[in-house]
Amino acid sequence: MSFISYLINGISLGSVYAIIALGYTMVYGIAKMLNFAHGDVIMVGGFVVFTIVSTYGLPPILGIVIAIAVCTVLGMVIERIAYKPLRNAASPLAVLITAIGVSYLLQNAALLIFGANTKSFTSVVSVPPLKLAEGQLIISGETIVTIISGIIIMIFLTLFVNKTKAGQAMLAVSEDKGAAQLMGINVNGTIALTFAIGSALAAVAGVLLCSAYPSLTPYTGAMPGIKAFVAAVFGGIGSIPGAMIGGILLGIIEILGKAYISSQMADAIVFAVLIIVLLVKPTGILGKNIQEKV
């Protein structure tokens, strides 16, 4: 029974990683940029909800909506100010270094505003726990909501990208920005929309993460952001179902590693698995080999 409990907890944690990874994979798949500040947008979303719910005592649903709105705007501002001027930079390292700089900027801004002390986050999930096997197996409301949210978001994004005009524009931009612009597609607007969606997902992930693990610091999003990037690569970066699969597998590996091997070695195990996957299948589980035409 304990193994099933660990497995469910792994799927729950993996669903959070998957939601974050979906933001990574959309931005990379369409804009070909690695937004390493994505993890810190999670932290911003958590602090917005914390401020609204714990400080001002307003309803949690209002806090979630405002957090999504704030993170959406923040993502678009980051793209406009930090990444757009470097879109045609000669070296991709320029964007990577800028992303790291934005990450530190958000962390230090949170330190100045909220301080370094750990905040106790009040869960915004009001779903009662589910008791199975005569009460021997209890699935928390946070776990239920997290898993269902991850599945719904993946389905929604898949339908959005494949069935809507904006989604088709994203696919066109991901294939060839120049050709898409010649066909009348607003490339800048499409990339801004991609960042907005990714940042909104980061806000949702931040709320779910802090509800399941009720603590919040300016560094809350750093490690989950890195692990979500690992999940995106693991599943095949650029693939929406791949991000979901990679996130869930990563969560299961981490929880089982903590339970059966060593809690101190859990992170090392996660990254070791990534190395093995990249050695065996460099494109990830659902990634495709892209052949350059010359």
Residue-wise pLDDT for 51-81, tens only, equals 999 888 899 999 999 999 999 999 999 999 9
Q: Please tell me the predicted confidence (pLDDT) of residue 293.
A: 47
Mean pLDDT in the chain? Answer: 88
111-125, 149-163, 264-278: which range is least confident on average? 264-278
With 80 as the cut, is the pLDDT of residue 133 above it? no
Count other Cβ atoms within 10 Å, centred on residue 188: 15
Q: What is the pLDDT of residue 13?
A: 93
Structure tokens at 86: 């470097």
Q: What's residue 1's pLDDT?
A: 61
The pLDDT value recorded for residue 96 is: 84
The DSSP 8-state label assigned to residue 213 in this structure reads S
Confidence at residue 291, expressed as pLDDT on a 0 to 100 scale: 53
Q: How far apart are CA 71 and CA 76, in angstroms?
A: 9
Q: How confident is the model over 167-193, as pLDDT tens digits?
A: 999 989 988 888 888 888 999 999 999
Range of 89-93, 112-116, 268-272 with top mean pLDDT? 112-116
With 0.95 as the threshold, say if the pTM is over it.
no
Residue 159 has pLDDT above 70, yes or no: yes
Q: Is the pLDDT of residue 231 over 70?
A: yes
Q: Would you say residue 105 has pLDDT above 90?
A: yes
Q: Please check the confidence at residue 154 and state whether its pLDDT lies above 60.
A: yes
Instruction: Taking each helix axis as running N to C, give the angle between helix 38-50 and helix 2-31, from 0 to 180 degrees, rounded to the nearest 10.
Output: 120
**Where are the strands (E) in the chain, listed by range?**
119-120, 130-132, 137-139, 215-216
Residues 6+ apart with CB under 8 A from 75: 41, 195, 196, 198, 199, 200, 202
For residue 203, pLDDT over 90 is answered with yes
Reading the block at residue 106, the tokens are 């958000």
Tens digits of residue pLDDT in 266-283:
888 888 888 888 888 888
Two tokens at 249? 């597998």
Domains and CATH numbers, the chain: 2-280 (1.10.3470)
Q: Is the pLDDT of residue 294 over 50?
A: no
pLDDT tops 70 at residue 290: no
Q: Tens digits of per-residue pLDDT, 6-15?
A: 999 999 999 9
Cα angle 70, 41, 259; round to 5: 135
